[in-house]
Amino acid sequence: MSEGHGEHDEWFFKYPSIYRFLRTIVNLGRFTQPVKEYLRATPEESVIDVGCGVGDFSTVVPGSYEGYDLNERFIQYAQKKFGNGNKSFHFKDVLALPETQLYDKGVVVNIMHHFTDEELKILLARLRKLVTNYFVIVDADWNSSNRFQRWLLNKDQGSHFRDRKDLQALLSQYFDLEDFSVFETRSKSVSLFRCIAKPKHEN
């Protein structure tokens, strides 16, 4: 596993609108399109967003949506901005999600580097039971990141950036991975990977 450097608690994580604004400037956009292309959610499908942050990916879901995050200010902001009868946001540790199949699809964007290997295994074991169809997983791709991109990643709160091979090996214990590809934000500030992860059923 390639570790990033220490956990950070930068001031902007306390101000959701400033955090969202800065992130949009740095990335020159919100990279919702690469998630939308893989998710292909229909109005009839329900979607869970694991570590939903300020709720940007709720905008690519036409049907029912639930977002979960441990940053209470982010959740309050998202509920106010995007919440409606069909979309809700919840202040909850995703390591304590139920183990029942409740959703058709899910998104997991940029949160895996917040967890140690042990925590990630607990999370993945729960997630594979939560959806009937698949997750779209997106995270920073440490391998294809240049020095500037790694410097920016180190401003993030998570500190467990992984070698791509190690991450794929971990994910593959719980999911069949399809359509693995690497892309960059419009500003080339971050190099990310995306994939479709179909739950492997326990024997």
Binding site for ligand SAM (CB under 6 A): 51-53, 56, 68-71, 74, 93-95, 109-111, 114, 156
Q: 4 or 51: whose CB is closer to ligand SAM?
A: 51
Q: Which residue is nearest to ligand SAM (CB)?
A: 53
Tell me how far, at minimum, the Cβ of 203 lies from ligand SAM, in Å.
28
Tell me how far, at minimum, the Cβ of 156 lies from ligand SAM, in Å.
6
Strands (E), 37-185: 47-50, 65-69, 87-91, 103-109, 131-140, 175-184
Tell me how far, at minimum, the Cβ of 140 lies from ligand SAM, in Å.
9
In terms of C-beta distances under 8 Å and separation of at least 24 residues, what long-range contacts does 5-10 make, across chains too?
Answer: 5/154, 5/159, 6/159, 7/157, 7/158, 7/159, 8/154, 8/155, 8/156, 8/157, 8/159, 9/157, 10/155, 10/157
Q: 114 or 194: whose CB is closer to ligand SAM?
A: 114
Tell me how far, at minimum, the Cβ of 13 lies from ligand SAM, in Å.
8
Q: List CB contacts of 66: < 8 A, sequence separation 6 or more.
A: 46, 47, 48, 49, 87, 88, 89, 90, 103
Q: 64 or 185: whose CB is closer to ligand SAM?
A: 185
Tell me how far, at minimum, the Cβ of 71 lies from ligand SAM, in Å.
4
CA nearest neighbour of 70 among 117, 111, 37, 102: 111
Q: Cα–Cα distance between 65 and 124 in angstroms, integer?
A: 20
Q: 11 or 203: whose CB is closer to ligand SAM?
A: 11
Q: 44 or 74: whose CB is closer to ligand SAM?
A: 74
